[in-house]
């Protein structure tokens, strides 16, 4: 038992550049021209181990404010003419290499599990109506069956074993405290694409269904601290330009709040109706309508065909139909 615990809590080794160059392509799992992203499955090995499944989440970088003034003189290496018509001229371009202006961002998941592969693969999506009964009999048992080590990376952040240098704000109080840090989807430069995550310290809230009026001090503290801190940290951003929301179903079952700039509307599914629930609305529902509002209400959300919950949801007829 002890060896298993040690294995679950250790910080995994970072692959070297040489190992990354040996990434063996298998297939494209998904791609989105709108967000200029692609998810690629392959194999990656270290010097002493057999190759293991790995996923690369690729995203082309946005032109930053510091880059645009020098774009034509310093950054563009070659203009490749493709066509013209009257005053309009079309080109492709090649950029010089400069570490200050990376061409793309990558998230590596290694070793990747079948769960990761399903999650990041293209899949048909459906609207689901989750009644309180469906939550209690299907969703909640599924959440409780997830091994704790699935979110070990969250506990590593909270204990400052990982990513401590990225923490922007910490409120240490146990019941209302949290850590605020940039989401990996944000380049930390382009303010219009600001994306932060607030992860609460307490471990007894897994999703929006667990919330009741006793959690109002936590929710209000999150709101107040974030709306005060972010405009002070990032000059030019106002509190009324920030969107604070919670996902249901969340991507991991430890309560956290997403913080984005209003102009950041290209998060794939992240701010969509039937996915995102505004923190202000959550507070009002608990405060004015029912102290256990989220235990009583039916929640409608998007569920992918590859999600582990989908077969059961499909079997019981939870998908939205003309009769519902």
Burial 176-209 (b: 16+ CB within 10 A, else e): bbbbbbbbbbbbeebbebbbbbbbbbbeebbbbb
234 is in an annotated binding site: no
97 within domain boundaries: yes
* Pair 296, 231 in one domain: yes
188, part of any domain: yes
Residue 155 labelled as part of a binding site? no
248 assigned ligand-binding residue: yes
Q: Please state, in angstroms and as integers, the Cα–Cα distance from residue 38 to each residue in 196, 225, 304, following that order.
A: 22, 35, 18
Q: How far apart are CA 189 and CA 259, in angstroms?
A: 15
The answer to whether the CB of 89 falls within 8 A of the CB of 79 is no
Residues 2 and 88 in one domain: no
Whether the CB-CB separation of 195 and 186 falls below 8 Å is answered with yes
Compute how many other C-beta atoms are within 10 angstroms of the C-beta atom of residue 293: 18
**For the residues 289-317, what does the mean pLDDT come to?**
96
Query: Does the annotation list 253 as a binding residue?
Result: yes
Query: Are 158 and 185 contained in the same domain?
Result: yes
- What's the pLDDT band for 34 if we cut at 50, 70, 90? confident
Tens of pLDDT along 235-275? 989 999 999 999 999 999 999 999 999 998 866 557 878 89
Q: How confident is the model at residue 11 (pLDDT cuts 50, 70, 90)?
A: low
pLDDT, average across residues 292-315: 96
Please indicate, yes or no, if residue 291 is contained in any of the structural domains: yes
Q: Write the pLDDT tens digit of every residue in 278-298.
A: 999 999 999 999 999 999 999
| CA–CA separation, 225 and 244 (whole Å) | 12
Average pLDDT over residues 98-124: 92
pLDDT at 4: 32
- Whether the pLDDT of residue 216 is over 80: the answer is yes
* Structural domain of 29: 1-61+105-114
Residue 45, marked binder: no
Residue 259 sits in the same domain as residue 169: yes
No. of H helices and E strands in the chain?
10, 14
Q: Does some domain include residue 320?
A: no
- Asked if residue 140 and residue 236 are part of one domain, the reply reads yes
Query: 42 with 75, same domain?
Result: no
> Has 250 been labeled as part of a binding site?
yes
Q: How many domains does the chain have?
A: 3
**Residue 276's pLDDT is what?**
94
Rounded to whole angstroms, the Cα distance separating 26 from 124 reads 22
Please indicate if the annotation marks 48 as binding a ligand: no
Q: Same domain, yes or no, for 176 and 248?
A: yes
Does residue 323 register a pLDDT over 80? no
DSSP letter (8 states) at residue 319: B
For residues 152 and 255, membership in a common domain is answered with yes
Annotated catalytic residue, options 89, 116, 201, 256: 256
Residue 139 · residue 309 · CB < 8 Å: yes
Q: Could you confirm whether 256 is annotated as catalytic? A: yes
CATH number, domain at 281? 3.30.428.10
pTM: 0.82
For the residues of 65-95, what is the DSSP string, one character each?
TTTGGGIIIIIEEEEEEEEEETTEEEEEEEE
Let me know if residue 20 belongs to a domain: yes
Sign of the CA dihedral with 139 first, then 112, 59, and 196 last: positive
Output the pLDDT for position 137: 98
In a shared domain, residues 134 and 264: yes
Question: Lowest-confidence range among 73-82, 87-96, 268-277?
Answer: 268-277
Residue 3 banded pLDDT, cuts 50, 70, 90:
very low
Supply 38's token pair: 């692609």
195 and 308 fall within a common domain: yes
Q: Is residue 323 part of a domain?
A: no
Q: What is the DSSP letter of 135?
A: I
- Give the model's pLDDT for residue 267: 66
Q: Are residues 135 and 46 in the same domain?
A: no
- Is there a binding annotation on residue 116? no
Q: How far apart are alpha carbons 163 and 167 in whole angstroms?
A: 7
Lowest-confidence segment of 58-72, 148-162, 231-245, 257-271 by average pLDDT: 257-271
* Residue 324, in any domain of the structure: no
Q: Tell me what pLDDT residue 10 has.
A: 53
308 and 166 share one domain? yes
Mean of the per-residue pLDDT values for the chain?
Answer: 91
Angle at 85 between CA 79 and CA 90, to 5 degrees: 25
């Amino acid at each position: 038992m002890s060896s298993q615990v040690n294995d679950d809590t250790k910080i995994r080794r970072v692959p070297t550049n040489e190992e990354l160059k040996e990434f063996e392509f298998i297939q494209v799992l998904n791609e989105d021209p709108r967000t200029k992203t692609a998810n690629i499955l392959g194999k990656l090995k270290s010097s002493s181990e057999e190759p293991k499944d790995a996923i690369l989440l690729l995203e082309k970088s946005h032109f930053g404010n510091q880059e645009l003034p020098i774009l034509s003189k310093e950054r563009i290496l070659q203009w490749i003419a493709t066509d013209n018509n009257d005053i309009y001229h079309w080109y492709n371009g090649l950029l010089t290499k400069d570490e200050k202006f990376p061409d793309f961002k990558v998230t590596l998941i290694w070793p990747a599990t079948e769960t990761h592969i399903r999650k990041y693969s293209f899949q048909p999506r459906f609207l689901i109506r989750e009644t309180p009964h469906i939550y209690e009999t299907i969703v909640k048992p599924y959440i409780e069956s997830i091994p704790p080590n699935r979110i070990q990376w969250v506990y590593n952040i909270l204990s400052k074993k990982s990513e401590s240098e990225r923490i922007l704000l910490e409120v240490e109080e146990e019941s209302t405290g949290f850590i605020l840090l940039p989401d990996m989807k944000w380049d930390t430069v382009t303010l219009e694409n600001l994306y932060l995550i607030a992860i609460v310290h307490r471990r007894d809230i897994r999703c929006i269904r667990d919330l009741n009026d006793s959690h109002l001090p936590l929710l209000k503290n999150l709101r107040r601290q974030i709306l005060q801190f972010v405009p002070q940290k990032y000059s030019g951003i106002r509190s009324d330009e920030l969107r604070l929301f919670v996902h249901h179903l969340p991507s991991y079952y430890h309560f956290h709040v997403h913080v984005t700039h209003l102009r950041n509307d290209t998060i794939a599914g992240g701010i969509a109706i039937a996915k995102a629930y505004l923190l202000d609305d959550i507070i009002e529902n608990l405060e004015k309508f029912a102290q256990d509002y989220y235990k009583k209400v039916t929640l409608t959300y998007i569920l992918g065909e590859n999600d582990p919950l989908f077969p059961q949801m499909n079997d019981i007829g939870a998908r939205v139909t003309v009769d519902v």
